[in-house]
Amino acid sequence: MFTSILCKELSLVHGDVGTAASYTPPYTPTKCYGNQQDQFPPGNLFVAVSDGLWDNGAACGRRYRLRCLSGTNRPCKDGSIEVKVVDYCPKNPCPSTMLLSSDAFAAISSSNMKINIEYIEI
């Protein structure tokens, strides 16, 4: 069991680094699944991604494991979360690499400011 946990944590070390901000409802319609309510994973841990990850829509449904690295006034919570891509960043230009649902953002940060994250596709 310890080896399994260690491997999961070490796998994140080889991820990419970016930024994350929070976005708030309404979350529909999304660029990936329109108004379908079943597009949102349990716990509402989902994201909208910027141009660098969007991949002309191929990002829809991708899952990432991410964790908070840093931000203003030590905002990071311990651990990582798994999120699902359901949308393209609705703002132009996008203010961060990923826009996290308010529930996803609250799961890794105690701040409401932009944070630095590490992420890996799973």
Residue with tokens 């529930």: 103
Instruction: Report the CATH number at residue 32.
Output: 2.40.40.10
pLDDT at position 5? 43
pLDDT tens-digit profile, the chain (122 residues): 444 444 444 444 579 999 999 999 999 999 999 999 999 999 999 999 999 999 999 999 999 999 999 998 889 999 999 999 999 998 889 999 999 999 999 999 998 899 999 999 99
pLDDT at position 2? 43
User: Contact, 12 vs 120, CB < 8 A?
Assistant: yes
Task: Tell me the two tokens of residue 21.
Answer: 């901000």
Domain that holds residue 81: 2-121
pLDDT at position 80? 96
pLDDT at position 95? 95
- Residue 110's SS3 state is coil
Phi–psi pair at 103, nearest 5 degrees? -70, -40
User: Contact, 82 vs 65, CB < 8 A?
Assistant: yes
Instruction: Report the DSSP beta bridge partners of residue 67.
Output: 118
User: Contact, 56 vs 62, CB < 8 A?
Assistant: no
Total residue length of the chain: 122
Domain count, the chain: 1
